[in-house]
Amino acid sequence: MSAIPTRSKLALLLLSLAPLPLAPLPLAAQATKDGHGPQILRYMEQIRNETGVPGMAVAVSLNGEMVFSGGVGWAELDNRTPADGGTVWNVGSVSKVMAGVAVMQLVEKGKVTLDDPIQKYVPGYPEKQARITLKHILTHTSGIRHYKDGEFGPYGLWEARHFEDINEAIGHFRDDPLLFEPGTLYFYSSHAFNLLQGVVEVASGLGFEEYMRRYVWEPAGMLSSSFDVPSRVVHKRGRGYVRDDRGLLVNPRYADPSYKYAGGGMLSTVEDLVRFVQAINDGTLLKPETVATMYAVHVDPVMQYRASGAPVKQDFKMALGFQLDQDAAGRWYIDKTGTVSGTRSVVLTYPELGLVVAVQANALPFDSLKYGEAIAQLFLPPPNARP
């Protein structure tokens, strides 16, 4: 394990590589030491009333210390369990950056390179009309398609199956041609990211979940994180909800995420998500040079592929797994959002300022990035303030 770097050292590396109404429900929170706790709770209740989500949770870390963890509303509606910072929900595509850290650890160990073709680790994914590298997958420039309607068969039966092997789990998209030449355009693809499970397993010799537990979750103190296995009993498991034709909240269709652990099949809490990014930033999970590479801009401008018409320029920049967005004050931050089965999550960080924020909610629509950024502003110095 590498020595823990100072935050200023990481900041220098980053700067060198990157540009910069419902009835009231119960509250559960740990107040911040600087007095922001009540303010955040009031804002969370406002968000819940505006969006109609049953519950949400927020955690904040500043300079390596958890300064807020709290929830409003219900983690699940059947028993009306209150939401809090320890509520366990599927974090959707935030799983991608956890898998990305595992890949970057293997890069550090010399077991993997970002220029390796994906077929080296997932032989069940056939050769395509062009070479697809791990970097293409991490930057969503692989040309592999995303989800499409009807691909899981009648009543989504394919999605309800349990898979033990990633080579078997990719059968619904493995034979499709690429949308474009890898590296030339951007197109968000969970299917592409799911292939990283094979990279971790082949390069490490461990099962994917075992690797994540040993080398990511436990070192980071993420003791409530795991794979989303429907049959497991999970303490403090929350539930996501979707809306029916009348706009009423209902349970989503049953799905087994075993085909997409790397792309969207992990369970976590806002507290664990904050610990995860904090452990990236402080050198617990990766060397500072690797963190700087992962957070650096790798795709700019981001020109999104469209099946018909010209590509559309996006207003974010693409790192490895993470993306970079800009707040109203012009400050760049690193973030990843996730959506799955009625849950919505985000984790974001201003690494040079020592700030990490995580937000989860359990119904859609819910703009987690907007709300996460707003909460972050409470802890940030005024723009252009002297240190």
- Asked whether residue 4 carries a pLDDT value surpassing 60, the answer given is no
Residue type, 240: G
Banded pLDDT at 386 (limits 50, 70, 90): low
- Asked whether residue 244 carries a pLDDT value surpassing 90, the answer given is yes
Q: What local confidence, expressed as pLDDT, does residue 36 receive?
A: 83
Name the CATH superfamily for 7-20+88-342. Answer: DD-peptidase/beta-lactamase superfamily (3.40.710.10)
- Asked whether residue 293 carries a pLDDT value surpassing 90, the answer given is yes
Helix 7-17 / helix 288-295 crossing angle, nearest 10 deg: 40
Domain boundaries, the chain: 7-20+88-342
Q: What local confidence, expressed as pLDDT, does residue 290 receive?
A: 98
- Asked whether residue 13 carries a pLDDT value surpassing 80, the answer given is no
Q: What local confidence, expressed as pLDDT, does residue 28 receive?
A: 40
By percentage, how much of the chain surpasses pLDDT 70? 90
Q: What local confidence, expressed as pLDDT, does residue 181 receive?
A: 98
Q: What local confidence, expressed as pLDDT, does residue 156 receive?
A: 85
- Asked whether residue 385 carries a pLDDT value surpassing 70, the answer given is no
Burial of 385 (0-12, 13-18, 19+ CB in 10 A): exposed
Q: What local confidence, expressed as pLDDT, does residue 24 receive?
A: 35
Q: What is the average pLDDT value for the chain, to the nearest integer?
A: 91
Q: What local confidence, expressed as pLDDT, does residue 153 receive?
A: 86
Query: How does pLDDT run across 66-89, given as a tens digit for each residue?
Result: 999 999 999 999 999 999 999 999
Query: How does pLDDT run across 267-276, given as a tens digit for each residue?
Result: 999 999 999 9
Q: What local confidence, expressed as pLDDT, does residue 250 receive?
A: 97
Structure tokens at 200: 């971790």
Query: How does pLDDT run across 294-333, given as a tens digit for each residue?
Result: 999 999 999 999 999 999 999 999 999 999 999 999 999 9
129-140 mean pLDDT = 97
Q: How large is the C-alpha radius of gyration of the chain?
A: 20
More confident residue, 155 or 73: 73
- Asked whether residue 130 carries a pLDDT value surpassing 60, the answer given is yes
184-203 mean pLDDT = 98
- Asked whether residue 210 carries a pLDDT value surpassing 90, the answer given is yes
Cα–Cα dist 66/52, whole Å: 28
Segment among 43-47, 112-116, 156-160, 376-380 with least mean pLDDT: 156-160
Segment among 150-154, 226-230, 347-351 with least mean pLDDT: 150-154
Cα–Cα dist 244/163, whole Å: 29
Q: Where are the beta strands (DSSP E) in the chain?
A: 27-30, 55-62, 65-76, 81-82, 89-90, 226-227, 242-243, 249-250, 266-268, 303-304, 312-313, 317-318, 323-326, 332-340, 343-350, 355-361
Q: What local confidence, expressed as pLDDT, does residue 196 receive?
A: 98
Q: What local confidence, expressed as pLDDT, does residue 21 receive?
A: 33
Residues counted in the chain: 387
More confident residue, 154 or 370: 370
